[in-house]
Amino acid sequence: MQLRKQIPNLLQGIAVGFIIGFIIVLFLPKKTLDTNPVVEFKEVKRETQLPDEKSTAPTSYAEAVRRAAPAVVNIHTTKVVTRRIHPFFDDPAIRRFFGDSILPPQKRLETSLGSGVIVSSQGYIITNHHVIDQADEILVALHDERTTEAVVVGSDPESDLAILKISLNDIPAITIGRSDAMQVGDVVLAIGNPFGVGQAVSQGIISATGLSQLGIATFENFIQTDAAINPGNSGGALINAYGELIGINTAIFSQSGGSQGIGFAIPVDLAKNVMQQIIEHGETTRGWLGVDIQTLTPALAESFNLEDTKGIVIAGVIRDGPADHAKLKAGDIITLINDKQVSDATEALNLIAQTPPGSQIRLTGLRNRDPLSIIAIVGKRARPE
Protein backbone atom coordinates (compact mmCIF):
# COMPACT_ATOMS: atom_id res chain seq x y z
CA MET A 1 0.00 0.00 0.00
CA GLN A 2 2.78 2.44 0.83
CA LEU A 3 4.44 1.73 -2.59
CA ARG A 4 1.22 2.71 -4.39
CA LYS A 5 1.05 5.95 -2.41
CA GLN A 6 4.66 6.85 -3.45
CA ILE A 7 4.12 6.27 -7.22
CA PRO A 8 2.48 9.69 -7.88
CA ASN A 9 5.36 11.45 -6.10
CA LEU A 10 7.91 9.43 -8.09
CA LEU A 11 6.27 10.28 -11.42
CA GLN A 12 6.09 13.92 -10.43
CA GLY A 13 9.87 13.93 -9.66
CA ILE A 14 10.70 12.38 -13.04
CA ALA A 15 8.59 14.99 -14.84
CA VAL A 16 10.29 17.83 -12.98
CA GLY A 17 13.71 16.37 -13.87
CA PHE A 18 12.83 16.29 -17.59
CA ILE A 19 11.65 19.91 -17.45
CA ILE A 20 14.84 21.10 -15.73
CA GLY A 21 17.02 19.20 -18.17
CA PHE A 22 15.13 20.71 -21.15
CA ILE A 23 15.64 24.23 -19.76
CA ILE A 24 19.41 23.62 -19.30
CA VAL A 25 19.85 22.36 -22.82
CA LEU A 26 17.78 25.17 -24.28
CA PHE A 27 19.27 28.17 -22.51
CA LEU A 28 22.79 27.19 -21.41
CA PRO A 29 25.67 28.19 -23.80
CA LYS A 30 26.68 25.30 -26.03
CA LYS A 31 30.40 25.61 -25.22
CA THR A 32 29.73 24.69 -21.57
CA LEU A 33 28.31 21.34 -22.73
CA ASP A 34 31.04 20.33 -25.23
CA THR A 35 33.71 18.21 -23.58
CA ASN A 36 35.76 17.61 -26.83
CA PRO A 37 36.13 19.85 -29.92
CA VAL A 38 34.45 18.62 -33.07
CA VAL A 39 36.44 19.00 -36.35
CA GLU A 40 34.35 19.80 -39.38
CA PHE A 41 35.71 18.65 -42.78
CA LYS A 42 34.85 20.14 -46.13
CA GLU A 43 33.93 17.00 -48.07
CA VAL A 44 34.85 16.83 -51.76
CA LYS A 45 32.02 15.49 -53.87
CA ARG A 46 33.59 13.27 -56.55
CA GLU A 47 32.03 13.18 -59.97
CA THR A 48 33.58 9.78 -60.66
CA GLN A 49 34.32 6.72 -58.59
CA LEU A 50 37.79 5.97 -57.34
CA PRO A 51 39.71 3.56 -59.55
CA ASP A 52 39.11 -0.08 -58.79
CA GLU A 53 41.78 -2.43 -57.57
CA LYS A 54 42.82 -3.56 -61.07
CA SER A 55 43.62 -0.02 -62.30
CA THR A 56 45.81 1.07 -59.37
CA ALA A 57 49.60 1.26 -59.68
CA PRO A 58 51.40 -2.10 -59.47
CA THR A 59 53.47 -2.99 -56.44
CA SER A 60 56.10 -4.60 -58.69
CA TYR A 61 57.58 -3.78 -62.09
CA ALA A 62 59.12 -7.21 -62.53
CA GLU A 63 56.95 -7.98 -65.57
CA ALA A 64 58.01 -4.74 -67.31
CA VAL A 65 61.68 -5.54 -66.65
CA ARG A 66 61.20 -9.15 -67.79
CA ARG A 67 59.88 -7.90 -71.14
CA ALA A 68 62.54 -5.23 -71.74
CA ALA A 69 65.75 -6.50 -70.11
CA PRO A 70 66.68 -9.15 -72.73
CA ALA A 71 66.92 -6.40 -75.39
CA VAL A 72 69.29 -4.18 -73.37
CA VAL A 73 72.94 -4.92 -74.08
CA ASN A 74 76.32 -4.00 -72.64
CA ILE A 75 78.74 -2.32 -75.07
CA HIS A 76 82.51 -2.61 -74.65
CA THR A 77 84.62 -0.40 -76.92
CA THR A 78 88.35 -0.36 -77.55
CA LYS A 79 90.41 2.25 -79.36
CA VAL A 80 94.12 2.68 -79.99
CA VAL A 81 95.54 5.92 -78.59
CA THR A 82 98.94 7.19 -79.74
CA ARG A 83 100.85 9.53 -77.46
CA ARG A 84 104.38 10.46 -76.49
CA ILE A 85 105.92 9.48 -73.19
CA HIS A 86 106.03 13.11 -72.05
CA PRO A 87 104.51 16.33 -73.51
CA PHE A 88 108.03 17.81 -73.25
CA PHE A 89 108.94 15.94 -76.43
CA ASP A 90 106.05 17.49 -78.37
CA ASP A 91 107.99 20.75 -78.50
CA PRO A 92 109.24 21.20 -82.12
CA ALA A 93 112.63 22.51 -80.90
CA ILE A 94 113.20 19.47 -78.68
CA ARG A 95 112.13 17.09 -81.44
CA ARG A 96 114.48 18.86 -83.88
CA PHE A 97 117.36 18.43 -81.44
CA PHE A 98 116.73 14.81 -80.38
CA GLY A 99 114.92 13.53 -83.46
CA ASP A 100 111.81 11.33 -83.59
CA SER A 101 113.74 8.06 -83.35
CA ILE A 102 114.95 8.56 -79.77
CA LEU A 103 111.55 8.51 -78.10
CA PRO A 104 108.99 7.21 -80.60
CA PRO A 105 105.27 7.63 -79.84
CA GLN A 106 103.69 4.91 -77.74
CA LYS A 107 100.41 3.17 -78.52
CA ARG A 108 98.04 1.95 -75.90
CA LEU A 109 94.49 0.62 -75.76
CA GLU A 110 91.68 2.58 -74.12
CA THR A 111 88.49 0.77 -73.20
CA SER A 112 85.12 2.15 -72.21
CA LEU A 113 81.72 0.82 -71.26
CA GLY A 114 78.21 1.75 -72.28
CA SER A 115 74.81 0.31 -73.04
CA GLY A 116 72.53 -0.15 -76.01
CA VAL A 117 69.03 -1.30 -76.92
CA ILE A 118 68.14 -3.90 -79.54
CA VAL A 119 65.20 -2.38 -81.43
CA SER A 120 64.84 -4.96 -84.19
CA SER A 121 65.14 -8.75 -84.45
CA GLN A 122 67.33 -8.00 -87.48
CA GLY A 123 70.04 -7.02 -85.00
CA TYR A 124 69.86 -3.22 -85.07
CA ILE A 125 70.94 -1.53 -81.83
CA ILE A 126 70.44 2.09 -80.77
CA THR A 127 73.07 3.64 -78.52
CA ASN A 128 74.73 7.03 -77.99
CA HIS A 129 77.23 8.43 -80.47
CA HIS A 130 79.62 9.27 -77.65
CA VAL A 131 79.62 5.62 -76.52
CA ILE A 132 81.15 4.32 -79.79
CA ASP A 133 82.88 7.47 -81.09
CA GLN A 134 86.31 6.67 -82.62
CA ALA A 135 86.14 3.06 -81.39
CA ASP A 136 88.33 0.54 -83.24
CA GLU A 137 86.46 -2.47 -81.86
CA ILE A 138 82.94 -2.80 -80.47
CA LEU A 139 81.83 -5.86 -78.52
CA VAL A 140 78.20 -6.37 -77.54
CA ALA A 141 77.24 -8.60 -74.59
CA LEU A 142 73.64 -9.76 -74.58
CA HIS A 143 71.48 -10.48 -71.56
CA ASP A 144 71.79 -14.23 -72.21
CA GLU A 145 75.60 -13.94 -71.94
CA ARG A 146 76.27 -14.22 -75.68
CA THR A 147 78.98 -11.88 -76.94
CA THR A 148 79.57 -10.72 -80.50
CA GLU A 149 81.23 -7.96 -82.50
CA ALA A 150 79.09 -5.11 -83.78
CA VAL A 151 79.50 -2.91 -86.84
CA VAL A 152 78.56 0.76 -86.99
CA VAL A 153 75.73 1.31 -89.46
CA GLY A 154 75.88 5.06 -88.94
CA SER A 155 75.92 7.78 -86.31
CA ASP A 156 74.54 11.26 -85.79
CA PRO A 157 76.69 13.44 -83.52
CA GLU A 158 74.14 16.27 -83.60
CA SER A 159 71.55 14.15 -81.75
CA ASP A 160 74.18 11.95 -80.01
CA LEU A 161 72.72 8.76 -81.49
CA ALA A 162 74.37 5.82 -83.25
CA ILE A 163 73.08 2.63 -84.88
CA LEU A 164 74.96 -0.67 -84.58
CA LYS A 165 74.22 -4.08 -86.07
CA ILE A 166 74.95 -7.59 -84.82
CA SER A 167 74.50 -10.94 -86.56
CA LEU A 168 73.12 -13.69 -84.33
CA ASN A 169 70.18 -16.08 -84.22
CA ASP A 170 67.14 -15.50 -82.01
CA ILE A 171 67.87 -11.84 -81.30
CA PRO A 172 65.46 -10.35 -78.73
CA ALA A 173 63.96 -6.94 -79.54
CA ILE A 174 62.29 -4.41 -77.28
CA THR A 175 58.76 -3.12 -77.83
CA ILE A 176 58.78 0.52 -78.96
CA GLY A 177 56.48 2.83 -77.02
CA ARG A 178 55.44 6.44 -77.60
CA SER A 179 57.48 9.12 -75.90
CA ASP A 180 54.98 11.84 -76.88
CA ALA A 181 52.36 10.11 -74.72
CA MET A 182 54.47 10.29 -71.56
CA GLN A 183 53.67 12.90 -68.93
CA VAL A 184 55.41 14.42 -65.94
CA GLY A 185 54.83 12.05 -63.04
CA ASP A 186 54.72 8.85 -65.11
CA VAL A 187 56.75 5.98 -63.69
CA VAL A 188 59.85 5.03 -65.70
CA LEU A 189 62.65 2.48 -65.33
CA ALA A 190 66.25 2.92 -66.49
CA ILE A 191 68.07 -0.25 -67.60
CA GLY A 192 71.77 -0.30 -68.38
CA ASN A 193 75.27 -1.25 -67.28
CA PRO A 194 76.26 1.29 -64.59
CA PHE A 195 79.97 1.33 -63.71
CA GLY A 196 80.39 -1.96 -65.60
CA VAL A 197 78.84 -4.03 -62.79
CA GLY A 198 76.37 -5.72 -65.14
CA GLN A 199 72.80 -5.05 -66.06
CA ALA A 200 70.89 -3.10 -63.41
CA VAL A 201 67.49 -1.38 -63.12
CA SER A 202 66.58 1.86 -61.38
CA GLN A 203 63.12 3.33 -60.93
CA GLY A 204 61.80 6.89 -60.89
CA ILE A 205 59.38 9.24 -62.59
CA ILE A 206 59.47 11.68 -65.48
CA SER A 207 60.48 15.06 -64.05
CA ALA A 208 60.16 17.15 -67.23
CA THR A 209 59.80 16.79 -70.99
CA GLY A 210 60.92 18.76 -74.04
CA LEU A 211 64.11 20.09 -72.42
CA SER A 212 66.64 21.88 -74.62
CA GLN A 213 69.57 24.32 -74.36
CA LEU A 214 71.47 21.87 -72.14
CA GLY A 215 74.59 21.89 -74.30
CA ILE A 216 74.56 18.09 -74.69
CA ALA A 217 73.75 17.95 -78.41
CA THR A 218 72.87 20.30 -81.26
CA PHE A 219 69.28 19.07 -81.52
CA GLU A 220 67.85 18.60 -78.04
CA ASN A 221 64.45 17.47 -76.85
CA PHE A 222 65.22 15.61 -73.66
CA ILE A 223 63.13 13.71 -71.13
CA GLN A 224 64.31 14.42 -67.59
CA THR A 225 63.99 11.70 -64.99
CA ASP A 226 65.06 11.05 -61.41
CA ALA A 227 65.65 7.35 -62.14
CA ALA A 228 69.31 6.78 -61.29
CA ILE A 229 71.49 7.02 -64.42
CA ASN A 230 75.19 6.48 -63.79
CA PRO A 231 78.32 6.23 -66.00
CA GLY A 232 77.85 3.11 -68.14
CA ASN A 233 74.09 3.68 -68.46
CA SER A 234 74.59 5.83 -71.56
CA GLY A 235 72.75 4.31 -74.51
CA GLY A 236 70.57 2.14 -72.26
CA ALA A 237 66.80 1.93 -72.16
CA LEU A 238 64.30 4.17 -70.43
CA ILE A 239 61.06 2.18 -70.34
CA ASN A 240 57.52 2.79 -69.10
CA ALA A 241 55.64 0.65 -66.59
CA TYR A 242 54.63 -1.74 -69.40
CA GLY A 243 58.18 -2.50 -70.52
CA GLU A 244 58.01 -0.34 -73.66
CA LEU A 245 60.97 1.75 -74.79
CA ILE A 246 60.28 5.48 -74.46
CA GLY A 247 63.81 6.91 -74.34
CA ILE A 248 67.56 6.35 -74.71
CA ASN A 249 69.48 7.26 -71.55
CA THR A 250 72.12 9.82 -72.48
CA ALA A 251 73.49 12.03 -69.73
CA ILE A 252 73.36 13.03 -66.09
CA PHE A 253 73.75 16.29 -64.25
CA SER A 254 76.32 15.62 -61.57
CA GLN A 255 79.01 17.37 -59.58
CA SER A 256 80.40 14.10 -58.21
CA GLY A 257 80.28 11.84 -61.29
CA GLY A 258 77.40 9.81 -59.83
CA SER A 259 73.65 10.12 -60.09
CA GLN A 260 72.06 13.07 -58.28
CA GLY A 261 68.51 12.49 -59.43
CA ILE A 262 68.77 14.49 -62.67
CA GLY A 263 69.14 12.35 -65.76
CA PHE A 264 68.33 12.98 -69.42
CA ALA A 265 67.06 10.63 -72.11
CA ILE A 266 66.46 11.11 -75.84
CA PRO A 267 62.77 10.49 -76.67
CA VAL A 268 62.25 7.28 -78.64
CA ASP A 269 60.21 9.16 -81.28
CA LEU A 270 63.33 11.18 -82.16
CA ALA A 271 65.62 8.15 -81.91
CA LYS A 272 63.38 6.10 -84.21
CA ASN A 273 63.39 8.84 -86.85
CA VAL A 274 67.19 9.08 -86.78
CA MET A 275 67.49 5.28 -86.93
CA GLN A 276 65.22 5.00 -89.97
CA GLN A 277 67.14 7.70 -91.84
CA ILE A 278 70.51 6.08 -91.10
CA ILE A 279 69.35 2.59 -92.08
CA GLU A 280 67.50 3.70 -95.23
CA HIS A 281 69.82 6.46 -96.45
CA GLY A 282 73.09 5.89 -94.64
CA GLU A 283 72.91 9.26 -92.91
CA THR A 284 70.54 11.72 -91.30
CA THR A 285 69.16 14.46 -93.52
CA ARG A 286 68.12 17.80 -92.05
CA GLY A 287 66.93 21.08 -93.43
CA TRP A 288 69.13 24.19 -93.50
CA LEU A 289 68.51 27.86 -94.27
CA GLY A 290 71.91 29.41 -93.77
CA VAL A 291 70.99 31.84 -91.01
CA ASP A 292 72.36 32.75 -87.60
CA ILE A 293 69.42 33.16 -85.23
CA GLN A 294 68.99 34.47 -81.70
CA THR A 295 66.19 34.22 -79.18
CA LEU A 296 64.27 37.49 -78.88
CA THR A 297 65.20 38.67 -75.36
CA PRO A 298 63.53 41.59 -73.56
CA ALA A 299 66.59 43.75 -74.32
CA LEU A 300 66.43 42.91 -78.04
CA ALA A 301 62.69 43.46 -78.11
CA GLU A 302 63.19 46.90 -76.59
CA SER A 303 65.87 47.79 -79.13
CA PHE A 304 63.49 46.83 -81.96
CA ASN A 305 60.60 48.73 -80.30
CA LEU A 306 58.57 45.52 -79.95
CA GLU A 307 55.87 45.02 -77.36
CA ASP A 308 56.66 41.35 -76.58
CA THR A 309 59.44 38.78 -76.90
CA LYS A 310 57.67 36.21 -79.04
CA GLY A 311 59.91 35.08 -81.87
CA ILE A 312 63.54 35.05 -82.99
CA VAL A 313 65.94 37.55 -84.55
CA ILE A 314 67.87 36.86 -87.76
CA ALA A 315 71.38 37.82 -86.61
CA GLY A 316 73.12 36.95 -89.87
CA VAL A 317 72.53 35.47 -93.33
CA ILE A 318 75.08 33.28 -95.12
CA ARG A 319 75.85 34.51 -98.61
CA ASP A 320 74.29 32.40 -101.41
CA GLY A 321 72.45 30.27 -98.84
CA PRO A 322 68.72 29.46 -99.01
CA ALA A 323 67.81 32.41 -96.77
CA ASP A 324 69.90 34.79 -98.87
CA HIS A 325 68.19 33.60 -102.05
CA ALA A 326 64.81 34.19 -100.36
CA LYS A 327 65.84 37.81 -99.53
CA LEU A 328 65.86 37.28 -95.77
CA LYS A 329 67.88 39.98 -94.01
CA ALA A 330 69.70 40.45 -90.72
CA GLY A 331 67.40 42.17 -88.23
CA ASP A 332 64.23 40.44 -89.47
CA ILE A 333 61.97 39.19 -86.68
CA ILE A 334 60.45 35.74 -87.28
CA THR A 335 57.44 34.78 -85.18
CA LEU A 336 56.00 31.88 -87.21
CA ILE A 337 57.63 29.05 -89.15
CA ASN A 338 55.16 27.19 -91.35
CA ASP A 339 52.40 28.89 -89.34
CA LYS A 340 53.74 27.51 -86.07
CA GLN A 341 54.65 29.92 -83.27
CA VAL A 342 58.35 29.95 -82.36
CA SER A 343 59.45 31.10 -78.93
CA ASP A 344 63.22 30.61 -79.00
CA ALA A 345 66.18 29.83 -81.25
CA THR A 346 66.27 26.13 -80.34
CA GLU A 347 62.66 25.60 -81.36
CA ALA A 348 63.25 27.46 -84.63
CA LEU A 349 66.36 25.38 -85.37
CA ASN A 350 64.41 22.15 -84.80
CA LEU A 351 61.55 23.25 -87.06
CA ILE A 352 63.95 24.13 -89.87
CA ALA A 353 65.88 20.87 -89.43
CA GLN A 354 62.67 18.81 -89.58
CA THR A 355 61.75 20.33 -92.96
CA PRO A 356 62.96 18.06 -95.81
CA PRO A 357 65.62 19.63 -98.07
CA GLY A 358 64.15 20.89 -101.34
CA SER A 359 60.76 21.71 -99.84
CA GLN A 360 59.30 25.14 -99.15
CA ILE A 361 59.19 26.79 -95.74
CA ARG A 362 57.14 29.87 -94.83
CA LEU A 363 58.66 32.47 -92.52
CA THR A 364 56.31 35.05 -91.04
CA GLY A 365 57.25 38.03 -88.90
CA LEU A 366 58.30 41.67 -89.03
CA ARG A 367 60.84 43.81 -90.89
CA ASN A 368 61.22 47.32 -89.54
CA ARG A 369 57.92 46.72 -87.69
CA ASP A 370 56.15 46.03 -91.01
CA PRO A 371 54.55 42.62 -91.71
CA LEU A 372 56.88 40.12 -93.39
CA SER A 373 56.12 36.84 -95.17
CA ILE A 374 58.81 34.93 -97.06
CA ILE A 375 58.87 31.55 -98.81
CA ALA A 376 62.31 29.88 -98.83
CA ILE A 377 63.52 26.65 -100.41
CA VAL A 378 65.19 24.58 -97.69
CA GLY A 379 68.74 23.35 -98.30
CA LYS A 380 70.52 20.33 -96.86
CA ARG A 381 72.40 20.72 -93.59
CA ALA A 382 76.04 19.65 -93.88
CA ARG A 383 77.27 16.87 -91.62
CA PRO A 384 79.61 18.20 -88.89
CA GLU A 385 83.26 17.26 -89.15
Catalytic residues: 130, 160, 234
Give the count of beta carbons closer than 10 Å to the beta carbon of residue 170.
7
Helices (H), the chain: 2-27, 62-68, 92-98, 129-132, 268-281, 298-303, 322-325, 345-354
Q: Tell me how crowded residue 192 is: count the other CB atoms within 10 A of its CB.
A: 29
Residue 98, helix vs strand vs coil: helix
**Coil, strand, or helix at residue 70?**
helix
Q: How far apart are CA 84 and CA 80, in angstroms?
A: 13
Report phi then psi at 357, rounded to 5.
-55, 140
CB 229 within 8 A of CB 259: yes
* Number of Cβ within a 10 Å radius of residue 166: 22
Nearest CA among 308, 192, 172 for reference residue 249: 192
